[in-house]
């Protein structure tokens, strides 16, 4: 006879190891069983990461993209989208304005935009570090090893590159001009260069099976990521997947909860995408294993143009308002905003300053 849900949860809490079949069983749970999963993940989060919630200020600095991912509103074939780029001084000013709001980390994110050559990005990273003392996460997509190395040497701490789906056939179907092999290689290169590596996946992609979702979690565990961003796929009307169904809140929460059991010391964000399909989405994630939020600190005038999916939250808000709002959410859960840099708690990153 197979194990029941409580036995599987107990094994995961005690050992951090599960078979694919066990992961699928957890992802199939509902009602009281799912509630037990969320409670166990919340307990592991509290034991391993405490009640601190780390804030990462997200700067969406360019919505130009040379790729054509079939799910994303920034894809190059979306010709009606007005495009923008922030120059170096503007990025510095946006980051500087985030410091008095209490941010210690900024995430620089964009489409894949070669307008920003390697030297320009290195200069931005260097200045953010030197002039503002910020911890830097980059999320610029796939670039080559020399570029990743230059940015690491310039002071970048972390790199966020979601694997999106570990189902190689689905990956190819969603990314007409990209390969699963290169995605994996990019993540291994980032790991080898000493970045704190963030990866992650979307939940509810068309054709994505429970087996594939279990593979996503086991892939993140095998890569031993320092951060795992797991959010629902939200269909965008301006993409080929306009009529697809999209991910559910429940399945996304189960994915986050199992991720917490498999990766007890990873940072897990309560994603904006989850907050966009459910007003309480981020609160639910924070009580199902998540311990990070990435509030938007992009100036208001650009936000509507970075609409990767519809009904994205905070489009009419500004950085100060979002910071206030998130502070309220965190306090309402009896948690507190972390005041440290929020590096990975793994031993190999424990000596980092900033
Ligand atoms: N271009 C970089 C990259 O792809 O890594 C960073 C920017 S990209 C907009 C950031 C993330 O947005 C992707 O990793 C993807 O998971 C997410 N995303 C794009 N379209 C989405 C959609 N329709 N629903 C949910 N997430 C989406
Ligand atoms: Fe470009 Fe990233 Fe969107 Fe793909 S997911 S189209 S790489 S911005
Ligand atoms: Fe932006 Fe709540 S986080 S308004």
Do 330 and 338 form a contact (C-beta atoms < 8 A)? no
The pLDDT, as a whole number, for residue 353 is 64
pLDDT category, 89, cuts 50, 70, 90? very high
Ligand 1 pocket check for 106: Cβ under 6 Å: no
The pLDDT, as a whole number, for residue 124 is 98
pLDDT tens per residue across span 171-188: 999 999 999 999 999 999
pLDDT tens per residue across span 250-304: 999 999 999 999 999 999 999 999 999 999 999 999 999 999 999 999 999 999 9
Other CB atoms within a 10 A radius of the CB of residue 173 amount to: 14
- Centroid of ligand 1 to alpha carbon of 161 (angstroms): 9
Mean pLDDT of all residues in 12-37: 98
**Dist CA 195 CA 160 (whole Å):** 10
Pocket residues for ligand 3 (CB within 6 Å)? 295, 313-314, 317, 321-322, 325-326
Ligand 1 pocket check for 236: Cβ under 6 Å: yes
- Residue 142 Cα: closest atom of ligand 2: 7
- Centroid of ligand 2 to alpha carbon of 76 (angstroms): 9
The pLDDT, as a whole number, for residue 351 is 77
The more confidently predicted of residues 188 and 351 is 188
Query: Count H helices, E strands: the chain?
Result: 14, 9
For the cut 70, the answer to whether the pLDDT of residue 354 exceeds it is: no
Pocket residues for ligand 2 (CB within 6 Å)? 65, 67, 69, 72, 74-75, 111-112, 141
Closest ligand to 275 CA? 3
- Centroid of ligand 3 to alpha carbon of 218 (angstroms): 32
pLDDT tens per residue across span 94-125: 999 999 999 999 999 999 999 999 999 999 99
- Centroid of ligand 1 to alpha carbon of 196 (angstroms): 19
For the cut 90, the answer to whether the pLDDT of residue 350 exceeds it is: no
Mean pLDDT of all residues in 212-231: 98
Closest ligand to 239 CA? 1
Q: Report which protein residue has its CA nearest ligand 2's atom 4.
A: 69
Mean pLDDT of all residues in 48-54: 98
Ligand 1 pocket check for 171: Cβ under 6 Å: no
Name the residue of 159, 308, 313 whose CB sits within 8 Å of the most ligand 1 atoms, as the mutation to test its pocket.
308
- Centroid of ligand 3 to alpha carbon of 320 (angstroms): 9
The pLDDT, as a whole number, for residue 55 is 98
Q: What mean pLDDT is reported for the chain? A: 97
Cα within 13 Å of Cα(96), Cβ side = 10
**Dist CA 249 CA 261 (whole Å):** 19
Q: Report which protein residue has its CA nearest ligand 1's atom 25.
A: 233
The secondary structure of 14-43, three-state, reads HHCCCCHHHHHHHHCCCHHHHHHHHHHHHH
The pLDDT, as a whole number, for residue 352 is 78
Closest ligand to 61 CA? 1
């Amino acid at each position: 006879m197979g194990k029941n849900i409580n036995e599987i949860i107990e094994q995961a809490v005690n050992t951090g190891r599960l078979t694919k079949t066990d992961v699928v069983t957890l992802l199939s749970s509902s009602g009281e069983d799912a509630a037990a999963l969320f409670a166990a993940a919340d307990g592991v989060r509290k034991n391993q990461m405490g009640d601190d919630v780390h804030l990462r200020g997200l700067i969406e600095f360019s919505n130009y993209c040379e790729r054509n991912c079939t799910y994303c509103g920034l894809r190059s074939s979306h010709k009606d989208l007005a495009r923008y780029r922030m120059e170096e001084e503007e990025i510095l000013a946006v980051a500087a304005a985030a410091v008095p709001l209490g941010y210690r980390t900024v995430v620089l994110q964009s489409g894949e935009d070669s307008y920003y050559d390697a030297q320009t990005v290195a200069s931005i990273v260097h200045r953010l570090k030197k002039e503002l003392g910020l911890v830097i996460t980059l999320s610029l997509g796939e670039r080559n090893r020399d570029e990743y190395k230059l940015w690491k040497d310039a002071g970048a701490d972390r790199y966020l590159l979601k694997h999106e789906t570990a189902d190689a056939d689905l990956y190819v179907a969603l990314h007409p001009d990209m390969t699963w092999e290169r995605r994996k290689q990019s993540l291994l290169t980032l790991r080898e260069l000493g970045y704190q590596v963030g990866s992650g996946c979307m939940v509810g992609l068309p054709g994505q099976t429970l087996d594939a979702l279990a593979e996503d979690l086991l892939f993140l565990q095998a890569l031993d990521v320092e951060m795992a961003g797991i959010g629902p796929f939200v269909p965008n009307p301006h993409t080929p997947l306009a009529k697809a169904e999209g991910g559910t809140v429940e399945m996304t929460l189960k994915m986050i909860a199992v991720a917490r059991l498999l990766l007890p010391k990873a940072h897990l964000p309560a994603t904006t995408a989850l907050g966009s399909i459910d007003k309480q989405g981020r609160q639910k994630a924070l009580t199902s294993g998540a311990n990070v939020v990435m509030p938007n600190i992009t100036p208001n005038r650009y936000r509507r143009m970075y609409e990767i999916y519809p009904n994205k939250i905070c489009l009419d808000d500004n950085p100060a308002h979002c910071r206030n709002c998130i502070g309220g959410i965190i306090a309402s859960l009896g948690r507190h905003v972390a005041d440290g840099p929020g590096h990975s708690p793994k031993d190999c990153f424990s000596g980092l300053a900033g």
